[in-house]
Amino acid sequence: MFICAICRMFANKLKIKTCMILRAKFENILSFNYETEISFIAGKGTSLPAHVYRAEKRDDISVLRSSIIYGANASGKSNMIRCINILRKIALGRFPKNNWDVFKLAPEKKVDSKLEIEIKADSSYYSYGVIFNLRGIKKEWLYQINSRTKKKIFERIQEIDYANYSFGEIEGNEESKQFVKFLSEGTPADKSFLSEYRKRNGKGIIAISNVYNWFDDNLKIIFPETRFRGLSFRLEKDDEFSNVTKKLLHFFNTGISDLKKVTTNKEETDLPKKLISQILSEAKPDENCCVASSDQQSVYFFETDKEGQTKIYKQMTVHKNSQDEDVIFDMDEESDGSIRLLDFIPMLIDLQFNSAVYLIDEIDRSMHPIMSQKIFEYYFSQLSNANNTQLICTTHESHLLDVDFIRTDEVWFVEKERDGSTRLTSLADFKPRVDIRKSYLQGKYGAIPFFANVNTLNWNKLKDGDMVK
């Protein structure tokens, strides 16, 4: 069962006005053995200038608006996003015990994993990282960086019975400094100092709040099983939201003209009775709740008025017949591709109105290949880049490999080394001057599940009735 986050996605203004990922590093975790880096810093190429947030000041850093990561199944491309998600959990104080593995194929197994990320939050750049194992955090650090220098915010080295902290500049009086010291001494090994500082309303180090807020509010991760639906909840309450949603539905040409919520009752839902009873008992006046069924096909809304009375609605889709009349469809009557697209519409609306970084694992899952391309087309052509947003995804889909559509420094290839570890390679390293989609399918960049060049497979020589053995 999934409680939808769309109900609160737009409730508050985001505190961070600019948010981007510059680089991320992974070591001895999942399929990453040695330190492996992926970069979203723009190269010097001048193609597709709308895809880059160019540095305006001397110490600024030019950052890409998007990135596409290719790889065969089991190559490790999803692990890149999983690693960032693990770091996010650690930063927010939710240490993921037993939810990850070190690189198991190393001859000499190491116990410590390392994760580090460089980000832009508001007008500043930061580097945040941790070294950790199943017992907790061994080292944690935060630096403010730019194109030339880095300045320490804090460093933490965890010993068995205590932790050594060192800090950069702390604003405020002696009381603020003492409080920061008190917080550091009381931070458990399985909690980040970042989260403890925020939890206890720490003062004197604005950078910590900026980075925490970036992880909490601005970084959004969508896995194949993630559902971000519940659109009709906003449609009848926000005209701007409704208009944008209709525009998106028309742009993607799904045949869906609108979304509608229809009154229902608890007996007609396919939700567990226990869950319904819990929602109704915990309902508060003038609050709303959105719930997806276990099969993720149906979405229900629980709206409680000021008097505490709760009404239940079901999300439906609207199509037009040949007489331009509205025809209502149930969600389970829509294709998997249309349903998956509905999952992405709130993301596109969020990217239009707010600063956010979206990481999508397998953007092409359950969708026609052209639909993935259309999402990027909409992102670049219809959304303003004033919010400094990013869209990063993994995919198998080669339709996106077009130099007229994407910059070479936006493309990364993921493949397995002989030792089973994951290797990342930028398309920019190949300096391609030919059809990159064709070269990719021929295996020239790796990252595909072929063991031979497709031109050597002699498929064209097979006769009717012949079988590949």
Q: How much is the average pLDDT of 207-236?
A: 83
Q: Among 1-10, 287-296, 303-312, which is the least confidently predicted range?
A: 1-10
Residue 285 pLDDT > 70: yes
Residue 3 pLDDT > 60: no
Q: Are 19 and 388 in contact (CB under 8 A)?
A: yes
Q: Walk me through the domains of the chain, giving residue ranges and CATH numbers.
A: 16-229+353-469 (3.40.50), 232-352 (no CATH)
The tens digit of pLDDT for each residue in 60-83 reads 899 999 999 988 778 889 999 999
Structure letter (DSSP) for residue 214: I
Q: Among 306-310, 329-333, 398-402, 458-462, which is the least confidently predicted range?
A: 458-462
pLDDT bin (cut points 50, 70, 90) of residue 382 is confident
Strands 113-121 and 19-27, sheet pairing: antiparallel
The burial of 185, by beta-carbon neighbours within 10 Å (0-12 exposed, 13-18 middle, 19 or more buried), is given as exposed
pLDDT bin (cut points 50, 70, 90) of residue 455 is very low
For residues 39-53, one letter each, b for 16 or more C-beta atoms within 10 angstroms of the residue's C-beta and e for the rest, the string is bbbbbeeeebeebbb
Dig out the tokens for 47 from the structure.
């193609």
Residue 460 pLDDT > 60: no
Residue 469 pLDDT > 80: no
**CA dihedral of 45, 50, 53, 56, whole degrees rounded to 10:** 80
Q: How much is the average pLDDT of 286-294?
A: 79
Q: Are 413 and 396 in contact (CB under 8 A)?
A: no
Give 309 or 460, the one with higher predicted confidence: 309
Query: For position 446, what pLDDT does the model report?
Result: 57
Hey, what amino acid is at 335?
S
Query: For position 11, what pLDDT does the model report?
Result: 43
CA distance 242 to 261: 13
Query: For position 325, what pLDDT does the model report?
Result: 95
Percentage of the residues of the chain whose pLDDT score is greater than 70: 84
CA distance 173 to 71: 52
Q: Are 272 and 292 in contact (CB under 8 A)?
A: no
* Sequence-ordered list of residues with C-beta below 8 angstroms from that of 461, at least 6 positions apart, any chain: none
Hey, what amino acid is at 348?
L
pLDDT bin (cut points 50, 70, 90) of residue 218 is very high
pLDDT bin (cut points 50, 70, 90) of residue 396 is confident
Residue among 94, 89, 95, 80 at smallest CA distance from 30 = 80
Query: For position 448, what pLDDT does the model report?
Result: 53
Give 70 or 384, the one with higher predicted confidence: 70
Query: For position 9, what pLDDT does the model report?
Result: 45
Give 341 or 421, the one with higher predicted confidence: 421
Query: For position 87, what pLDDT does the model report?
Result: 97
pLDDT bin (cut points 50, 70, 90) of residue 97 is confident
E runs forming strands in 364-439: 390-395, 411-416, 422-426
Query: For position 266, what pLDDT does the model report?
Result: 87
DSSP calls for 216-255 = IIIEEEE-TT-----THHHHTT-HHHHHHHHHHHHHHT-S
Query: For position 20, what pLDDT does the model report?
Result: 93
